[in-house]
Amino acid sequence: MAHEKHEKSAKNNEKSPEKSMEKSNGAQPKRKAMIMETVLRDAHQSLFATRMRTSDMIPILEAMDEVGYHSLEAWGGATFDACMRFLDECPWERLRTIRKHVKKTKLQMLLRGQNLLGYRHYADDAVREFVKATVGNGIDILRVFDALNDLRNMEVAADQVKKEGAHLQMCISYTLSPVHTLDAFADMAHKMAQMGADSIAIKDMAGLLSPVDCAKLVKAIKAKIDLPIQLHAHYTSGMGSMTYYAGLEAGASVVDTAISPLAMGTSQPPTESLVASLAGGELDTGIDLEKLIPVAEHFKKVREKYSHLITDVGVDINILRYQIPGGMYSNMVSQLKELNAADRLEDVMKEIPVVRKAMGYPPLVTPTSQMVGTQATFNVVSGQRWKNMSKEVKQYFLGYYGTPPAPLDAEVQKIAIGDEKPITCRPGEKIESEMEKARNDASAWALQPEDALSWLMYPQVAKEFLPKKYARITQRDTGLNELVDESAYPA
């Protein structure tokens, strides 16, 4: 027991370095800014469609481990998917490889709450199993979010993260709307603290968060709870570095940056610039710029390798004009081109606030950004609002994505779902346990328990990937055809 207690207190100190900092000569306790490096996850996801290979990472991991980062972001939905879909790599193996080379620095990941790394809600048993395997394979900090900021969709994942003894970072998806006030966000953070959060992340996926608003938001949260705050921005609107500086000054502890060759544009603000900006001041990161040079040199080569996939966007002022994510804007431009309606762009942009209002002002992040964007396009191009609605939007109005931040428009809901009765419970409750079936379905090609989880996340992709991996590792070909036809493997 005594030993356990000692371990616990040591861990607590580690969690809040600002508190454990020496108060020499009665001076103010020193606060330093910390950095999460995103190059292994968000940076290449944002810049070149998540195509970086594990072999592009390995040679530099040990040098990165010496830098003194707060954490390395190493895993998430798109990396998991792309590993299997495009790179013929096992995502679990990638995680273990990174962990093997990164011994000191914490590894962090992004988890879509009850959606885990996929695009639908999973059953509670799958959520628990996935979190367990994730921590078991080396992740230290799990950033848990939900597209609607519905805390019920984060509940089970959060509970399991705590049970595994990992760091639970609960994440606010930042958005702008009449109902997303400072108070509303601060209340959300307060509830997250009550759910056991070890830290709070503010995720600004769109680059919407201005320096002024960021400072206000950080102060509003800090006034309610005493947890470290981590900021996540994209550089698309050109405000990212300024937003970080303002947020850090206001009391945030960690910011997410990308090493310069993979920074800016749709990716994060550059790591080196932030380190240099803060050096010598109150928020000095303590990182030696020299240690970042080899990292930058390495990823400069990696960038060149994938340069054919990179479009240089510079600053996208449409984000500032329309207050929607850059990715959503470019999707809509191409959607309209396909429909031979490129000239309707301005109308569609004006339709977005109408759609969002009817849908209760969801934050614009996967999958709600696609739903809202497509619906706005339908409304404009068909010449009649709500005439066409996707299956996803109907499910949304039925409550299967959770409770939106503001009430749904009752009339539009009626058009969407007719007399069907929407659910009001936590959506995850409606899903029956599914691990056993996944284990059975994947059993012919499973070489590790995690393979069933890969199967569950991306069944179509795993159907191609797992047999290939099985054949490669066992030197036996099980035949792809049998896999497609489930009846070939009676239970």
Which parts of this chain interact with Co ion (CB under 5 A)? 42
Residue 266 vs 375, nearer CB to Co ion: 266
> Shortest distance, CB of residue 42 to Co ion, whole angstroms?
4
Give the nearer residue to Co ion in terms of CB position, either 38 or 377: 38
Strand-pairing partners, residue 258, are 270
> Least distance from C-beta 328 to Co ion, angstroms?
13
**143: three-class secondary structure by DSSP:** strand
Q: What is the DSSP string of 321-345?
A: HH-S-HHHHHHHHHHHHHTT-GGGH
Judged by beta carbon, residue 42 or residue 198, the one nearer Co ion is 42
CB-CB contact of 75 with 89 (8 Å): no
φ, ψ (nearest 5 deg) of residue 255: -130, 150
Decide whether 78 or 456 has the Cβ nearer to Co ion: 78
- Shortest gap between Cβ of 311 and Co ion (angstroms)? 17
Min CB(268)–Co ion separation in Å: 7
Comparing CA positions, the residue from 351, 339, 372, 336 lying closest to residue 206 is 372
Binning the chain into helix, strand and coil, the percentages to the nearest 5 are 55, 10, 35
Q: Distance between CA 109 and CA 169 in Å, rounded?
A: 10
3-class DSSP assignment, residue 168: strand
Is the CB of 42 or the CB of 316 nearer to Co ion?
A: 42
At CA 299, angle to CA 295 and CA 305, rounded to 5? 160
CB nearer to Co ion: pick between 78 and 157: 78
Which SS3 state, helix, strand or coil, does residue 339 take? Answer: coil
Nearer to Co ion, 47 or 302 (CB): 47
Measuring CA to CA, which residue among 12, 11, 13, 61 is closest to residue 37? 61
Residue 40 or 381: which CB sits closer to Co ion?
40
Pick 213 or 441: Cβ nearer Co ion: 213
The CB-of-46 to Co ion minimum distance in angstroms stands at 7
DSSP label at 231?
A: E
Which residue is listed with tokens 């080396």? Answer: 138
Q: Which amino acid is at 171?
A: C
42 versus 450: smaller Cβ distance to Co ion: 42
| Least distance CB 89 / Co ion (angstroms) | 21
Least distance between Co ion and beta carbon 408 (Å): 27
CB of 116 to Co ion, least distance (A): 17
Q: Which residue is nearest to Co ion (CB)?
A: 42
Q: In angstroms, what is the minimal distance from the CB of 267 to Co ion?
A: 8
Burial (0-12, 13-18, 19+ Cβ within 10 Å), 45 = buried
Return the CA Rg of the chain: 23
Secondary structure element (H or E) that encloses residue 36, with its range: strand 34-37
Distance CA 129, CA 3 (A): 29
At closest approach, how far in Å is the CB of 202 from Co ion? 12
Strands (E), 191-324: 199-204, 229-233, 254-257
3-class DSSP state of 424: coil
Of 210 and 388, the one with the shorter C-beta distance to Co ion is 210
φ, ψ for residue 173, nearest 5 deg: -85, 110
Which tokens is 169 given?
Answer: 């970072």
The distance of closest approach from Cβ of residue 232 to Co ion in the complex, given in angstroms and rounded to an integer, is 6
CA angle centred on 295, ends 291 and 298, rounded to 5°: 145
Q: How far is the CB of 201 from Co ion (least distance, A)?
A: 10
Q: At what angle do helices 124-136 and 152-163 cross, to 10 degrees?
A: 40
Q: Which residue number, 42 or 351, has a Cβ lying nearer to Co ion?
A: 42
* Residue 392 near residue 367 (C-beta atoms within 8 A): yes
Residue 4 burial by CB count (10 A; 0-12/13-18/19+): exposed, middle or buried? Answer: exposed
Q: What is the Cα–Cα distance from 53 to 51, expressed in whole angstroms?
A: 6
